């Protein structure tokens, strides 16, 4: 695509183009941050109104039964399951990704401890999203059973980090900063060959790339619904456990919603069978209900088509940056190999923070991550090829005119 007209022509041929009208995007905004907070589905407003005024306002406590509130974590899990490539009754939507990491890590460590107590190492990578590393550190400190964290980095490749002392490998499928993606099947097989269980954080993968957790041999997975799944700010996360592990251990956040009979009000804990034992307590129903609006749009799209368009848009973005912003010190840190790329593109610039503030002031919303990284999320459900063209033109203009070089753009906000 050499011109904006070429992009418009590609948009007219795009089988996903009609889905854009199902999102409420503000006028004058080019939204390339759906990898961080997805856009608002149009249906969400009416659904929120229904939950608040009908289900809560009129139904009151009866709605736990009559509006299906009690079953919502499992019903939404079943709806999400096809996007993860797993059976419907192996997923729940509940709690935050960080909390769910705690639950599945505890389960994986306990399963390993019962079979191979000499395995006391958890492997992750230095470049992982910080909450993953922090939750592992917290678990190690809490357990005080001699566990340690080993981090993969430039000096320690994954193959060398794995070994007969490793209990669990915990990785993000798509890296939040670079957009690099692991081969899930190959990495899971490598870990299993070394006797480790594998947990995948799918925060930047679910809804963005086709997933086949079961076929790829994953053991556990967690992820956000507020990024590519458009569930709303802070919407509850999801958690999947492979069938063979589900009843092997009960996770330690064993609140009453994970009990076999929550309303028996027993004084003794007995875990539910299956994935329900990964719940904890009462769910934030208003927020949880919004997740369905995002899923309903995602399920209308063929995931192979979503992937094809995501790669085409990111190829176009990379090519246009290369040809039209060549005079500027931008470094692509996202792999160009399709198999190794998620659905966002990241560029380094020495003044990355200020550049992003200037772009946002011009209506192009991406985001900034340390160090010096500009992230641009390419979401096929509500962006097209002409949007990519326009985004790169704004970037080029901001760089050519040094519009970023102003005190207001150099001052850091609390959330970057």
Ligand X SMILES: *Cc1c(COP(=O)(O)O)cnc(C)c1O
| Catalytic residue check, 129 | yes
Residue 375 appears among annotated catalytic residues: yes
Residue 155 is labelled as binding a ligand:
no
| CB of residue 36 to ligand X, shortest distance in Å | 7
Q: Are 132 and 172 in contact (CB under 8 A)?
A: yes
Residue with tokens 């709303």: 232
CB 97 within 8 A of CB 223: yes
Q: Find the shortest distance in angstroms from Cβ 119 to ligand X.
A: 24
Give the DSSP H or E segment for 289: helix 285-298
Residue 204 marked ligand-binding: yes
Q: Which residues make up the interface to ligand X (CB under 6 A)?
A: 96-98, 129, 131-132, 172, 176, 201, 203-204, 224, 237
176 flagged as catalytic: no
3-state secondary structure of 377: strand
Q: Which is nearer to ligand X, 132 or 166 (CB)?
A: 132
Task: Give CA–CA dist 73/54, Å, rounded.
Answer: 20
Contact 363, 30 (CB under 8 A): yes
Please identify, using beta-carbon distances, which residue of 96 and 194 lies nearer to ligand X.
96
Tell me the residue ranges of DSSP E strands in 142-281: 148-152, 166-172, 197-201, 220-223, 238-241
The answer to whether the annotation marks 256 as part of a ligand binding site is yes
User: Which one is catalytic: 23, 31, 102, 129?
Assistant: 129
Q: Is 268 a catalytic residue?
A: no
Q: Which tokens in the block code for residue 110?
A: 């306990």
Task: Quickly list DSSP for 340-408.
Answer: GB-SEEEEE-TTHHHHHHHHHHTTEE-EEETTTEEEEE--TTT--HHHHHHHHHHHHHHHHTTTT-SHH
Beta carbon of residue 25, minimum distance to ligand X (angstroms, whole number): 21
Catalytic residue flag (residue 119):
no
Catalytic residue among 147, 226, 385, 409: 226
According to the annotation, is 63 in a ligand binding site? no
Q: Does the annotation place 416 within a ligand binding site?
A: no
Q: 180 or 203: whose CB is closer to ligand X? A: 203
Nearer to ligand X, 81 or 171 (CB): 171
Sign, CA torsion 111/114/115/121:
positive
Nearer to ligand X, 72 or 222 (CB): 222
Q: Is 97 annotated as a binding residue?
A: yes
Residue 172: count of CB within 10 angstroms of its CB: 24
Q: Are strands 197-201 and 220-223 parallel, antiparallel or unpaired?
A: parallel
Binding site as annotated, residues for pyridoxal 5'-phosphate:
97-98, 201, 204, 226, 256, 282
Binding site as annotated, residues:
97-98, 201, 204, 226, 256, 282
The residues assigned a catalytic role are: 129, 201, 226-227, 375
């Amino acid at each position: 695509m050499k011109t904006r007209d070429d992009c418009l022509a590609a948009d007219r041929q795009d089988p996903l183009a009609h889905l854009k009208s199902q999102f409420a995007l503000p006028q004058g905004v080019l939204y390339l941050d759906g990898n961080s907070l997805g856009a608002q589905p149009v249906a969400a407003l009416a659904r929120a109104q229904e939950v608040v005024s009908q289900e809560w306002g009129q139904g009151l406590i009866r709605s736990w039964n009559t509006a299906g509130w009690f079953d919502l974590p499992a019903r939404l899990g079943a709806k999400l399951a096809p996007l993860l490539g797993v059976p419907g009754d192996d997923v729940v939507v509940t709690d935050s990704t960080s909390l769910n990491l705690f639950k599945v890590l505890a389960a994986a460590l306990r399963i390993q401890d019962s079979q191979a107590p000499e395995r006391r190492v958890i492997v992750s990578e230095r470049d992982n999203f910080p909450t993953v590393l922090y939750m592992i550190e917290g678990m190690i400190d809490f357990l005080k059973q001699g566990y340690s964290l080993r981090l993969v980095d430039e000096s320690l490749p994954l193959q060398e980090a794995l070994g007969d002392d490793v209990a669990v490998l915990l990785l993000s499928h798509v890296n939040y900063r670079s957009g690099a993606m692991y081969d899930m099947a190959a990495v899971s097989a490598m870990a299993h060959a070394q006797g480790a269980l594998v947990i995948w954080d799918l925060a930047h993968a679910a809804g963005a790339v086709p997933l086949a957790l079961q076929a790829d041999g994953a053991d556990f997975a967690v992820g956000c619904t507020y990024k590519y799944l458009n569930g709303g700010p802070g919407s509850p996360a999801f958690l999947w456990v492979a069938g063979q592990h589900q009843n092997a251990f009960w996770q330690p956040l064993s609140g009453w919603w994970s009990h076999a009979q929550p309303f028996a009000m027993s004084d003794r804990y007995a875990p539910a069978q299956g994935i329900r034992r990964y719940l904890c307590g009462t769910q934030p129903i208003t927020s949880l209900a919004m997740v369905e609006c995002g899923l309903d749009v995602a399920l209308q799209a063929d995931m192979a088509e979503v992937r094809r368009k995501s790669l085409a848009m990111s190829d176009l973005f990379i090519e246009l940056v290369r040809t039209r912003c060549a005079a500027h010190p931008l470094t692509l840190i996202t792999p160009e190999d399709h198999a190794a790329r998620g659905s966002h593109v990241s560029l380094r610039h020495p003044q990355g923070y200020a550049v992003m503030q200037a772009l946002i002031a011009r209506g192009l919303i991406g985001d900034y991550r340390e160090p010096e990284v500009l992230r641009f999320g390419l979401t096929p459900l509500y962006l097209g090829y002409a949007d990519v063209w326009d985004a790169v033109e704004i970037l080029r203009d901001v760089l050519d005119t040094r519009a970023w070089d102003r005190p207001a753009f150099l001052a850091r906000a609390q959330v970057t």
